[in-house]
Amino acid sequence: MSSANRNTSNPQAGDEQPPAVSRHVGIAPMLTLIAVGVLLYAGGMYLDRHAGGFRANVYEPYRSLEYVESLQPQDKGDKLMAQGKQVYQTCSACHQASGEGMPGQFPPLKGSKWVLASGPDRIIRIVLNGLTGPIEVAGETWQGVPMPAIGSGFSNQEIAAVLTYIRQNEEWGHNATAVTPEEVAAVREKVSDRSAPWTAKELKKIPVGEEE
Amino acid sequence: MNSSESSQSSGHPEAEQARGQSPWSAADLDESCQMPVLYLFVSAGFWLVISSIFGLLATLKLHAPGLLADIPWFTYGRVWPVFWNALVYGFAVPGGIGVSLWLLARLTRQCLVLPWMIFMGALFWNVGILIGLLGILSGLTTGHAWLEMPHYTNVILFVCYAFMAIPAVMTFVWRNEEDPYPSIWFLFLALFWFPWAYAGACYLLNFVGLRGVMQAVADWWYIHNLGTIYFGLIGLAVLFYFAAKVAERPLYSRYQVMLILWLLALFGSWGDVPHGAPVPAWLPNLSAVTNLFVILVLLVLANVLHRTVSGHYGSFLKSVPYRFVLFGGVAFFVAGIVDFVTAIKPVSTIVELTEFTQAQSLLRVYGFFAMTLFGALYFIVPRLARMEWPFPRLISVHFWLAALGVVLYVVPLAISGIVQGGLLQQADVEFMQAVEPSLIYMRISTIGDVFFLLGHVVLFLNLGVLYYRYAFADWVATIVNSTQPTEAVEVGA
């Protein structure tokens, strides 16, 4: 019995003083520090694997954006557009990324009637064999630099992709139909014996849709 | 003199000598708390009875769906939130404030500042609860768990809380104790934690109006902050107070208690977003990882409490209020371990959408916090009112009703949740087949609810009669028998 308790007979004497607290440090804080370190490491590893890179668009039970994207249904048009954007880097040297060309040298693709025509038959031919001579685009007559024949360097798929890209480019305000590799293949076969570039005059005879 | 005292002080209650001198005796301190704290307790007891009536009604409806089903005011969707809101805002929060105020005054050795302001806050808090519960019953619920009361009551409760908390903060600031007992740290943090969590959640959910799944995330965050942190802080403050008092030893290691506070505050509040929630994957995973840290709180706490009480556990059984506190302490560990285990993904996927979560939150709010509060309340009230309990034997009756109630409510629902969750995982089991086995467990848990109700009636009987004697007996006697001069209210021995 401590002296404090012996001094009084009142059973409520303990109330008079607040309880005390010892100033031992003990080993627990050190162990806790180690445990916090271990848990931080383990927790970090776990989150690295399961938290989807803290991205807002990765949900349980998926673990990464790449995995989620690989599970998405792939839309053919989107795939063509994505590929077309890559191929267009060849074209943008002259026609520019904006599709507006260079005044006096390269005619614009943006807003061009042939690009946005109901069918792609003329523009497929231009890409395949090139174009020379004067041509009227957007109310101006262009006869500067001829369009080279670049078709042999690209597959039907790539040409379809880049033509789809220029026909459907939202940034340019375009919304024409997509071009399929099959369409390109059909035209390529038809013009297989031709090596000379097209002229605007010749192309005008070709209907924009093959079946028309 | 001080230095020589403190050098040999470790381990002796006489270390008190090193502390500052207070002009107030314990009796003075109690007297300053008397009016607001007794009122807080008696109104908390009243709401507790209301809460358990609605809780009983709600669980009855789970297996007797026809009961009162034709009266819109008593449909399940309204009765159930009334049960929780009355329990949390009617009983737990004001009860917690009451205990905090008394501990603040005692441990800072400063008379409670502005008791009238606290009393007014408590009075209008109860008006707010009344409006809020009637709002839920009349169908004006917000639909956010634990925040179902109509949005205007959020403002009432917040302002009333400020009326109660500001004098408490002032009491702490003007303390007569240079370095108060560690319980004070927990209570002081809790004083700020409630308004922060409550105002944050109400603002986001009821005033700004978060959209879509963010509503659920904000709500989980709030429930976790209130249930685990706020109740945890106050409950632990009470545990630390009684551990040292009952064992008649100084609390083991000030520094380890500080560690508990920081671990709880740092890692405890990251929400319990369940794994199946339709939210970005990092939310449930981060919350699972931080839940694992909370096991450290339990380990350090076990060390502190055991080293303080070791060898004196028997003392807790000597008096019924101590038994309540002991039960609450054990429930805190059980709840903590259950939280830890259910944070693990394979376990979480089984139990997350079942009655198990219900058992879990009741274990924390009632098994731990309410039981600890009961213990503190039975200990404090006779000292405040300076009179004995009107029916001392009923205290023990309440203990057994409450303890059995917790067991009969929590265990069956937990088993039911595991059974149901296991069946739900099997693709070839139909939904109703998975639900049916839980019927018998729900019936058993209803017995738990009956025990709760009886226990609360017993508590309110004791509290109500005592409060009548304390507050009105004099006054009634004067009116009834105005010719005779009245004797002073009997003073406890």
pLDDT tens, position by position, B244-255: 999 989 999 899
pLDDT at A42 over 90: yes
Quick one: pLDDT at residue B425?
87
Q: Out of 1.10.1040.10, 3.40.50.300, 1.10.760.10, 3.20.20.70, select the CATH number for domain A76-205.
A: 1.10.760.10
Which residues in chain A have Cβ-Cβ distances shorter than 8 Å to B305? none
Does the distance separating the beta carbons of A56 and B280 come in below 8 Å?
Answer: yes
Name the token pair of A28. 């627990």
Nearest CB partner across the interface for A19, out of B9, B181, B259: B181
Nearest CB partner across the interface for A23, out of B10, B109, B296: B10
Which has the minimum average pLDDT: B79-83, B186-190, B489-493?
Answer: B489-493
Name the token pair of B183. 């319980």
How does residue A146 score in pLDDT terms, banded at 50, 70 and 90? confident
Cα-Cα-Cα-Cα dihedral sign, residues B264, B270, B271, B276: negative
pLDDT at B10 over 50: no
The per-residue pLDDT for range B22-52, each reduced to its tens digit, is: 688 888 899 999 999 999 999 999 999 999 9
Q: In terms of CA atoms, which chain A residue is nearest residue B9?
A: A22
Is B388 within 8 Å of chain A by CB? no
B257 to chain A nearest CA, in Å? 10
Quick one: pLDDT at residue B11?
39
How does residue B480 score in pLDDT terms, banded at 50, 70 and 90? confident
Q: B331 Cβ partners below 8 Å, 6+ apart?
A: B363, B364, B367, B368, B371, B406
C-alpha B377/C-alpha B316 separation (Å) is 16
pLDDT at B185 over 90: yes
Which of B289, B305, B319, B379 best probes binding to A when mutated, by most A CB atoms within 10 angstroms?
A: B289
Please give the average per-residue pLDDT across A47-58, as a whole number.
88
pLDDT at B487 over 70: no
Q: Which residues pair with B226 in a beta bridge?
A: none
Decide: residue B200, CB within 10 A, 0-12 exposed, 13-18 middle, 19+ buried: middle
B121 to chain A nearest CA, in Å? 28
Name the token pair of B159. 């302002």
Quick one: pLDDT at residue A2?
37
Please give the average per-residue pLDDT across B137-162, as a whole number.
95
Residues B23/B176, Cβ–Cβ less than 8 Å: yes
Does the distance separating the beta carbons of B281 and A62 come in below 8 Å?
Answer: yes
Is B186 within 8 Å of chain A by CB? no
pLDDT at A3 over 70: no
Which residues in chain A have Cβ-Cβ distances shorter than 8 Å to B245? 14, 19
Domain ranges of chain A: 27-72, 76-205
How does residue B379 score in pLDDT terms, banded at 50, 70 and 90? very high
Query: Nearest to residue B339, comparing CAs of B372, B294, B296, B369?
Result: B294
Which residues in chain A have Cβ-Cβ distances shorter than 8 Å to B109? 18
Q: Both ends of chain A: CA-CA distance in Å?
A: 112
Quick one: pLDDT at residue B21?
64
Q: B213 Cβ partners below 8 Å, 6+ apart?
A: B277, B278, B279
Is B401 within 8 Å of chain A by CB? no
Which of A23, A30, A54, A60 best probes binding to B when mutated, by most B CB atoms within 10 angstroms?
A: A60
My answer on whether omega of the bond before A61 falls inside 30° of 0, hence cis, is yes
Nearest CB partner across the interface for B281, out of A20, A28, A59: A59
Is B320 within 8 Å of chain A by CB? no
Nearest CB partner across the interface for B254, out of A18, A23, A62: A23
Query: Nearest to residue B370, comparing CAs of B394, B398, B396?
Result: B398
Residues B165/B96, Cβ–Cβ less than 8 Å: no
Does the distance separating the beta carbons of B109 and A18 come in below 8 Å?
Answer: yes
Q: How far does CA A107 lie from the centroid of its chain?
A: 27
Chain position carrying tokens 């830890």: B340
**What mean pLDDT value characterizes chain B?**
90
Which of B285, B295, B307, B425 best probes binding to A when mutated, by most A CB atoms within 10 angstroms?
A: B285
Nearest CB partner across the interface for B280, out of A5, A22, A59: A59
pLDDT at B3 over 70: no
Q: For B204-248, give the secondary structure using H, E and C.
A: HHHHHCCCCHHHHHHHHHHHHHHHHHHHHHHHHHHHHHHHHHHHC
Phi/psi region, residue A112 (left: phi>0; alpha: psi -120 to 50; beta: rest), is: beta
Phi/psi region, residue B10 (left: phi>0; alpha: psi -120 to 50; beta: rest), is: beta
Of residues B454 and A60, which shows the higher confidence score?
A: B454
What's the length of chain B?
493
Query: Nearest to residue A60, comparing CAs of A70, A74, A45, A50?
Result: A50
Does the distance separating the beta carbons of B245 and A19 come in below 8 Å?
Answer: yes
Q: B147 Cβ partners below 8 Å, 6+ apart?
A: B154, B201, B202, B205, B206, B219, B222
C-alpha A14/C-alpha A12 separation (Å) is 5
Q: Measuring CA to CA, how many Å separate B235 from each of A149, B87, B312, B330?
A: 83, 16, 21, 12
Nearest CB partner across the interface for A50, out of B26, B248, B281: B281
Does the distance separating the beta carbons of B252 and A22 come in below 8 Å?
Answer: yes
Which residues in chain A have Cβ-Cβ distances shorter than 8 Å to B15? 20
How does residue A137 score in pLDDT terms, banded at 50, 70 and 90? confident
C-alpha A87/C-alpha B405 separation (Å) is 73
C-alpha B94/C-alpha B102 separation (Å) is 12
Query: Nearest to residue A179, comparing CAs of A128, A136, A111?
Result: A128
Nearest CB partner across the interface for B251, out of A12, A22, A57: A22
Of residues A169 and B37, which shows the higher confidence score?
A: B37
The dihedral over CA atoms of B60, B64, B67, B72, expressed in degrees to the nearest 10, equals: 80
